[in-house]
Every structure is written in C-alpha cells, then in structure tokens.
C-alpha cells in the first residue's frame, strides 16, 4: 500500500516537471509582458530597466533553472501587476474557489442523487423520462450559458415581473467571517445569498452526471438476488432502497464525484468569470489576458498538485467504501 502511494507520488512529480517545462517554454517565450506595464512612449533604457528588474534579460535556460529552484520552495515570483507574491495571491483566493466548488458538490449530490435513484426505481414514470432528458441538458449546456440563464431568470426577469420576488445577487462574494484564519462566506446570510446562483450554476454539469450514474447503477442493483432476498426477508421498501440499494450506489458515485471534483474546480474558472466571484479561476483568466506569467504558472502548479492528491484520495476513499477491496489488500 505504501509502495503504491510512493509510486503514485513519483508519477505525479514527473507529470509536474513535464508540465512546468511546457508551461515555462510556452509562456516565457511568447508575449511581451513589458509592453503591458509601461507606457508606449517609454524609451529603450526604461524598457531595459524594467526587463532587468523582472529578470527577463537572462538567457532562457537560466531563467528556467531559477524558476525551478524557486518553484520547489513555493516561490513563483511576484505577480507582474499586483507586485504581490504569485503563490500568495493564489492562496488568498483559494478559499473562495473551494467554497464554491464544495457548495456545488453538495448541491449536485443533494439534488442529483435522489433524482437519479428515483429514475432508476421507476424507469417508466413520466417524471423519470423528464429527469433523464433534463440530465442531457444538464451536461450538454455550457457552464457560462447556465449561469447567464440563471442570472436572467433570478436576478432580472422574475424580480421584475413578480412583485415581491427576491432579487438574487448576480455578482461578487458575500460578507465573510473568519473561520480558523480562513475567510469564509457561507456562515453569513448575505454570503449564502451570493453563493447560491454561482454554486447552482456549477452544480449542473456534475448533477447531470450523478443523475445518470445513480440511475444506471440503481438499475443494475435492483434485479440482483440480494435485493430479492431482502424482500423475501420481509424488509420494507424504504429500508431496501435506503440501505441496500444506496450503499451499493455510493461506491461508484463517490468515485466519480471525487474524480469530477477536479473538473469542477476547472469549470469554476468560467463560473467565477460570469459571477465575478473572487476566486482562483477569475484570477487565472485575468492573468492570462494580461500576460501575468508568474500567476499563471503558479496556478498550474497548484492545480496539477491538487489533481494528483485528489486522485490519490479517491483511490483511498474507494477502498474504504468497498469492503471487498479493503480487506483483500490487507490480506496481500
């Protein structure tokens, strides 16, 4: 087991090295961030001074080595524009993104799981067919489109047309409080209101996947002998569905949810842009558009690291949930 973990970590390290080279080569060789920062009629001397201060006059390979050396220590340089440490900027914004991602995870599970199980239990009911069609819409419509529609509906049209209908906030994060040193907004009413639309938007894609997966797995599980045996024992439907069926469904759902969490964080980039949510994703977009390389690089490294840890965590989670896997690996 330990060997497995070490091996995975080494693979991850390799991936990160490769990515860093690609990213570095790409970003540092193309685009001229200096032009962004000084007025067009600055003379050569001023440009050279700026270049030197950013270390851009060194040969490429030396720049890369400096980059790697710093990276290992978590130092990705200062943001060209904000002057603050790039890594620091990312860490500042991480809680907002995590909040959004986790809220959307909760929503997608809370809404998607019951719907999917229902569709699996009663595949021919009209509600089920509607749910399945809805799920196709859910994962095919682009994230930003969903966000747009929700804004139109809940922040513009409904409040305009129906008197007394609450107008949901369509941008920004709500008021925050400090929780263990991290600023979180879900503990305030205002924060929750601001969190609602973005989290709902982000939950569509994953929710649709969960609906389909839950339905498919439920349909696989229901004809199984052990379900019939449970009925033969005289157990009621609530117990059969709530315990026997659900426990079997949770394994693939948990696996997929875990793996898809990475996708969710990635898609948060779009949602954050639509709702002006001050998270890592919006930071990334802004940095890309303004060629603020240190921040982009720092973001990539953080993301790769995050993905690797996530994959590992999902593997471990899987072994906890499925006793067959856990006990076998202990025996070997």
Tokens of 165: 């209908």
- Of the pair 1, 18, the CB lying nearest other proteins is at 18
> Does residue 116 contact residue 218 with C-beta atoms inside 8 Å?
yes
What contacts 93, CB < 8 A, 6 or more positions away? Answer: 278, 279, 280, 282, 283
| Helix residue ranges, H only, the chain | 2-29, 33-37, 44-53, 60-72, 86-121, 126-140, 143-150, 158-161, 189-221, 225-232, 237-239, 246-275, 280-289, 293-321, 323-331
Question: Smallest distance from the beta carbon of 234 to other proteins, in angstroms?
Answer: 3
What contacts 189, CB < 8 A, 6 or more positions away? Answer: none
Classify residue 3 as left (phi > 0), alpha (psi -120 to 50) or beta: alpha
C-alpha 145/C-alpha 142 separation (Å) is 5
- Of the pair 163, 223, the CB lying nearest other proteins is at 223
Binding residues vs other proteins (CB under 8 A): 15, 18, 23, 26-27, 30-31, 133, 136-137, 139-145, 148-149, 151-152, 155-157, 160, 170, 223-226, 228-236, 239, 243-244, 247-248, 251, 262-263, 266-267, 269-270, 273-274, 284-285, 288-289, 291, 296, 300, 303, 307, 311, 321-324, 327
- Of the pair 49, 329, the CB lying nearest other proteins is at 329
Beta bridge partners of 85: 78
Question: Smallest distance from the beta carbon of 225 to other proteins, in angstroms?
Answer: 4
- Of the pair 176, 284, the CB lying nearest other proteins is at 284
Question: Smallest distance from the beta carbon of 208 to other proteins, in angstroms?
Answer: 11
Question: Smallest distance from the beta carbon of 152 to other proteins, in angstroms?
Answer: 6
Give the single-character DSSP code of 184: E
Question: Smallest distance from the beta carbon of 318 to other proteins, in angstroms?
Answer: 12
Question: Smallest distance from the beta carbon of 198 to other proteins, in angstroms?
Answer: 15
- Of the pair 85, 143, the CB lying nearest other proteins is at 143
Scan for tokens 């860490």, then name that residue: 91
* Reduced 3-state DSSP string for 125-137: CHHHHHHHHHHHH
- Of the pair 173, 293, the CB lying nearest other proteins is at 293
């Amino acid at each position: 087991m330990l060997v497995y973990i070490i091996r995975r970590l080494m693979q991850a390290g390799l991936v990160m090295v490769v990515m860093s080279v690609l990213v570095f080569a790409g970003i540092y060789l193309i685009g001229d961030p200096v032009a962004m920062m000084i007025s067009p009629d600055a003379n050569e001397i001023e440009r050279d001074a700026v270049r030197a201060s950013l270390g851009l006059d060194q040969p490429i390979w030396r720049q890369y080595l400096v980059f790697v050396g710093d990276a290992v220590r978590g130092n990705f340089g200062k943001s060209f524009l904000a002057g603050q440490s790039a890594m620091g900027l990312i860490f500042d914004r991480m809680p907002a993104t995590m909040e959004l991602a986790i809220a959307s995870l909760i929503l997608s599970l809370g809404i998607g799981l019951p719907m999917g199980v229902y569709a699996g239990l009663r595949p021919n009911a009209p509600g089920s067919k509607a749910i399945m069609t809805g799920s196709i819409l859910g994962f095919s419509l682009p994230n930003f489109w969903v966000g747009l529609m929700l804004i139109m509906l809940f922040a513009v049209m409904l409040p305009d047309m129906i008197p007394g209908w609450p107008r949901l906030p369509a941008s920004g994060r709500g008021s925050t409080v400090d929780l263990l040193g991290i600023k979180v907004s879900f503990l305030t009413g205002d924060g929750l209101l601001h969190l609602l639309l973005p989290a709902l938007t982000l939950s569509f894609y994953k929710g649709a996947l969960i609906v389909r997966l839950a339905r498919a797995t439920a349909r696989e599980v229901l004809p199984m002998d052990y379900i019939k045996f449970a009925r033969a024992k005289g157990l009621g439907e609530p117990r059969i569905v709530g315990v026997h069926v659900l426990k079997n469904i949770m394994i693939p759902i948990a696996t997929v949810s875990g793996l898809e969490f990475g996708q969710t964080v990635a898609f948060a980039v779009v949602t954050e842009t639509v709702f002006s949510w001050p998270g890592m994703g919006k930071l990334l977009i802004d940095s890309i558009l303004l060629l603020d390389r240190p921040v982009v690089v720092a973001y990539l490294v953080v993301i790769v690291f995050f993905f690797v840890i996530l994959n590992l965590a999902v593997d471990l989670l899987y072994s906890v949930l499925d006793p067959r896997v856990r006990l076998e690996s202990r025996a070997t």
